[in-house]
Amino acid sequence: VIGQQYGVWVERASATILATTVLSVVSVTVLLYVIKAGLLPADLFP
């Protein structure tokens, strides 16, 4: 929104938001799979 007001880095900001959203979805999915498979304990700090 701020980038649109000033006309700066609109494409780069949009691409960054998309990339970080995709990365977070992938990382959470992998983390949940690893916990469910038993490779990582669900309680890291007992």
Q: Other C-beta atoms within 10 Å of 8: how many?
A: 10
The pLDDT of residue 35 is 93
Examine the pLDDT at 1 and tell me if it is beyond 90: no
Mean pLDDT of 10-20: 89
Q: Which residue has the higher pLDDT, 3 or 41?
A: 41
Nearest in space to 28 (alpha carbons), one of 46, 20, 44: 20
CA distance 25 to 41: 20
Model confidence over 17-35: pLDDT tens digits? 999 999 999 999 999 999 9
Percent of the chain with pLDDT over 70: 91
Q: Hey, what amino acid is at 28? A: V
Q: Hey, what amino acid is at 19? A: A
Greatest mean pLDDT range, 6-15, 16-25, 36-45 = 16-25
